[in-house]
Structure 1
């Protein structure tokens, strides 16, 4: 359910200044009950502060923060207990590697009603359901061709009682029950709403009639940007456990979140991990990389998310390159990972007020990524050139053709550029100490 309190108020709390950095992180959760009135699940909601409403300007950023805070900040057991969590998710995050940080047995992917349905999304939903995720459709209020197209790829449907007339609710419930979907009555605000939903055979119930969202808080863990960049650089060149362990020891807040991640049910180890080396081995470098990317993606630092053009440029460029690499070689995950890293690190010298050669030499990046950034060499260098032209609104198709990437047609490049534009993946933090 898109939070009914989202954007309900502006300007934060009295006494907050634009430069104030909260000392705590927050997550809202609202109970979802079964037909007996027992707790079945929670919907997790973005909260910027202890006040019980959301100010959301970017769905992807809000979801990334909810996931980061639930898994690494507050912890899955503290937020969810033994229950599942419904998480709002938009199109960009559905196609992101970040989604796999969430253990599928603990999280339900709640597809926002604004997500455009097409064949590409259908394939992705099939993949995610095959990986064990359940998919819920959010804020359904009418029978449309779009809804009928989505239904084969969904397990749960949430019907909006606040906006849908009772006669249409009954029609929707009858049709959806016939297709074997789990029905959730959301935004149930009155006893009459609840009685109607119960009579119509709804399985689950959510709304202010039962409970308003509760806000959970935990001390904010600060992750310094240079440390995360160094960690990602090590991962990009397949560094060994000794190097990773040494780097992580310099970043205690990342270690705390990593241990929370590995001790969550995502890994089903049946035991807690006590040492950093055990955590690295148990988690695997792929998951650590996802987690580092999520922290870059979720943390905002002192500036509003959209206020720093460099943040948007780095995020969009890296995502564009990853998508282009996936398009060119769908089965080559290493190529896509390297493309993403190339995009992220192509602007690090600006962030750190240095030169590309100096910064990249200190980071010890893989040669192919370093050569791509410094000299635009190789396939990654060609992709970086294409991303630069596309990001400036130019015609990148001739550059792609000259590089031998005939599959990157003008139509494909346009679609990739639009998809990447919403992917904000950089992190504005305090200066290194």
Structure 2
């Protein structure tokens, strides 16, 4: 359920003024019940304050904040207990590596109704389901060709009882049961709605008839971008445990969240982690890098994530470079990782209001990444130059050919541009239109 206030704002009649408390962050959770009335799961909802409704300007940023607060702020055990949490996912985060911070044992991916079906989406959902995730389809209210196309790639279908006439509900339920899908009746607000859903064989139930969302709060952790960037820089050059430990000690808020991350998801250890070094080893550098990226996405300043042109440019550029590197060297994961980080750090000086030379020297980046950004040297430098030209709408193929990267033909570069845009949340079909 995409939980937003229906035309209401903080100043609307009947709603309290927002309780502005920047020292706290919030997460809403609404129970999802089974046929016996027992708690089955929660839907996790974005909340900006103690008032119990949401005003969402950017789905991706709202979800990033919900995930960051659940895992690293309040903690999975406190928010979910032994149950799963349904998390709204838009296309941007669906294609992001960040999604793997959520463990399939604790989270269900609830695909928003704004996500359009295409071949790329089908492949991505297949990957995530093979990784163990359950996928729920949100806000279904009619029999459509798009619903039929999506069914092979989802496990749970949520039917909106406020938008769907009873006759259509019955037809939807019969069709979906025939496909073996779990049926969830959402926005159940009356006893009559519940009785109808129960009679039609729905498996799960959610709505104000049972409970309104509960708002959970935790003190806000102040995470500074420079510290996160230094941490990511260490990870790009495979820094040792001692260096990572020293950097994390300078960022207490990240340490607190890292400890919650490893303790709450357990990583199959069967025990809690009691030291920072143990947490680093148990979590692994890839998960730490994902976590740092999530925190950057979740706190991008005054503008929503996708409305911030600098964030958009850094994200699409880094993804484009990663894909290009993978195309050039399919078996070299380290090269693809270095390309991605080159794209990320190519704009860090803008974030910090400095020069590339000054910023990168302090971050201690791997020499090949630093030289690529400062002097456009090496294969990474060539990829960065190609990404810059492509990002400005220029002819990047001649640049690739001049650099000896003839495999990056115009057709390939066009494909990579579309894929990078999709990763950030732009529909591939729209970009190609």
Q: Do the two structures share a fold, i.e. TM-score over 0.5?
A: yes
* Offset, 1:150: 1.1
Cα contact 1:316–1:420 (8 A) shared by 2: yes
Counterpart of 1:411 in structure 2 is 414
Residue by residue over 1:314-349, the C-alpha shift from the partner in whole angstroms, topping out at 9 and shown as x without a partner, is 333333333444555555433332222111211122
Matched, 1:194 2:194: yes
Counterpart of 2:431 in structure 1 is none
Counterpart of 2:49 in structure 1 is 49
Structure 2: runs of 5 or more not aligned: 427-433
Q: 1:66 to 1:336 in 2, by over 3 A?
A: farther
Query: Aligned partners of 1:4, 1:309: CA distance in 2, in Å?
Result: 25
* Offset, 1:277: 0.5
Residue by residue over 1:359-387, the C-alpha shift from the partner in whole angstroms, topping out at 9 and shown as x without a partner, is 11121111221111011122322222222
Cα contact 2:322–2:336 (8 A) shared by 1: yes
**Root-mean-square deviation (CA), in Å?**
2.3
Matches within 5 A, 1:301-380: 301=301, 305=305, 308-326=308-326, 328-329=328-329, 332-380=332-380
Matches within 5 A, 1:11-410: 14=17, 22-301=22-301, 305=305, 308-326=308-326, 328-329=328-329, 332-403=332-403, 404=405, 405-406=407-408, 409=411
How many residue pairs match? The answer is 420
Q: Secondary structure at the match of 1:159?
A: strand
* Offset, 1:92: 1.7
Q: Secondary structure at the match of 1:297?
A: helix
* Offset, 1:303: 5.3
Cα contact 2:73–2:257 (8 A) shared by 1: yes
Structure 1: runs of 5 or more not aligned: 424-433
Cα contact 1:23–1:219 (8 A) shared by 2: yes
Q: Secondary structure at the match of 2:267?
A: coil
Of 311-320 and 204-213, the range deviating more from structure 2: 311-320
Residue by residue over 1:281-333, the C-alpha shift from the partner in whole angstroms, topping out at 9 and shown as x without a partner, is 11111111111111111113455556654333333333333344455555543
Query: Aligned partners of 1:286, 1:379: CA distance in 2, in Å?
Result: 23
Query: Aligned partners of 2:11, 2:391: CA distance in 1, in Å?
Result: 32
Residue by residue over 1:380-413, the C-alpha shift from the partner in whole angstroms, topping out at 9 and shown as x without a partner, is 2222222222333334344344442425625314
Q: Secondary structure at the match of 2:336?
A: helix
Q: 1:196 to 1:291 in 2, by over 3 A?
A: same
Q: Secondary structure at the match of 1:46?
A: strand
Cα contact 1:89–1:112 (8 A) shared by 2: yes
Of 241-250 and 369-378, the range deviating more from structure 2: 369-378
Cα contact 1:156–1:182 (8 A) shared by 2: yes
Q: Secondary structure at the match of 2:42?
A: strand
Query: Aligned partners of 2:8, 2:335: CA distance in 1, in Å?
Result: 43
Q: Secondary structure at the match of 2:135?
A: strand
TM-score normalized by structure 1? 0.91
Query: Aligned partners of 1:361, 1:280: CA distance in 2, in Å?
Result: 25
TM-score normalized by structure 2? 0.91
Q: Secondary structure at the match of 2:265?
A: coil
Cα contact 2:234–2:364 (8 A) shared by 1: yes
Query: Aligned partners of 1:338, 1:8: CA distance in 2, in Å?
Result: 46
Q: 1:27 to 1:15 in 2, by over 3 A?
A: closer
Of 89-98 and 322-331, the range deviating more from structure 2: 322-331
Cα contact 2:136–2:157 (8 A) shared by 1: yes
* Offset, 1:57: 1.5
Q: Secondary structure at the match of 1:93?
A: helix
